[in-house]
Amino acid sequence: MILLALISAMIGSVIGAYVAPNYLYGRYIPYPQAPGIQGAPQRVEIVTRGEELTVIPAVAKKALPSVVGITTVTLERDIFSRTRRGQGVGTGVIVDSRGYILTNSHVVNDGRSEEVMVLFYDGENLKADVLWNDPMLDLAVLKVAAQNLPVADLGDSDKLTVGEIAVAIGNPLGLTFERTVTAGIISGLERSIPLTQFESIEGLIQTDASINPGNSGGPLLNAEGAVIGINTAKIQTGEGLGFAIPINTARPIVDEFIERGEFTKVYLGIRGINVQQYIQSYGDQLGTKQGVYVHQVTPETPVARAGMQDGDVIVKIAGQKIDTMGQLVRQMYKYRPGDSVKIEIIRDGEPVTLDVLLEAAPRSE
């Protein structure tokens, strides 16, 4: 009898101490309340509903529908002078719902591709036309016959700071790995990478997000999912060094295509080389170590009418310092036909300022 009582007591203590608080109270019987205390806390079970996204998955979810794969076919000649079809793969980003797509110039073989196809997020494949490209900027605008396409938000690359999140989307190593997402930070700004002895791409965004062949033309995004750059794998450097062309370089071009359906480039009317290149070939006799040496002024052009001469050195445009031909080309994309700019030159060692009225570039320019 005593043993039965002990066993019953033990079972009761287990129920009271463990089973009741965890399984009975709050479900089948109310919680006991201490004397004099009203509304003792109840056991609350929290159920999470909906999606919980961190920054990178949220950026990817927002941007992926506007990222496209690009395949190209180019006719090439082999060592036996036989024509063969070469194929290429890259990435692009939709910048207008009517079918305008931004990518790299080298993705479309600098406009020389025989065929350009665009693969969309929903699996549709459409032929594209190359409306514009510039190898020096390494940018191109394509157009497909489509409407109501998902569009990427364009950010402001002038507001970037080193250390902020950067997310790259592209097709590394071909469409087998289409729409791969990689992430890192903004590692540096205003980077200049030489391509040849006298040619470089300047003003680049540096990131440690992985950018490989096939990523070219895809977007570099900030934490809000806005495009801050166009990735380029044209520049092959060390591991952990990726580069993107700031979106603000492309924005004037994109905006004019969206507004007018075409882009009108302005021109100066010169043939020029970097001053550094001139110095290496002919010696230091220009009165400046940076700028663009004007080898030839074409008659009846904007700068000819403003009084520019062969042998002048362009050092500033609208107050913006010009050290190289690449900087001059990028600067000119900010202007439209009819704009007037002040161009500062060095002539015979002396500074001169010219007022230049810009005109639309001839088709051959």
Active-site residue 339, yes or no? no
Given the residues 138, 187, 312, 323, select the one marked as catalytic: 138
Contact 167, 209 (CB under 8 A): yes
Provide the β-strand partners of residue 343.
317, 354
Respond yes or no: is residue 106 known to be catalytic: yes
| Residue carrying the six token digits 């009165």 | 287
CB 315 within 8 A of CB 288: yes
Catalytic-role residue among 106, 187, 312, 323: 106
Q: Which phi and psi angles does 360 have, rounded to 5°?
A: -65, 140
Closest CA to 354 of 310, 317, 327: 317
Alpha-carbon torsion (267, 270, 271, 272), positive or negative:
negative
Q: Tell me, rounded to whole angstroms, the distance of Cα 40 from its chain centroid.
A: 57
Active site residue 138: yes
Give the Cα separation of 349 and 288 in Å (integer). Answer: 8
- Helices and strands per DSSP (H, E), number in the chain: 6, 20
CB 316 within 8 Å of CB 341:
no
Q: Where are the beta strands (DSSP E) in 178-238?
A: 180-194, 200-207, 219-221, 227-232
Residue 312's alpha-carbon distances to 112, 136, 192, 351, in angstroms, are 34, 23, 25, 10
Catalytic annotation, pick one of 157, 200, 210, 216: 216
Q: Residues with catalytic annotation? A: 106, 138, 216
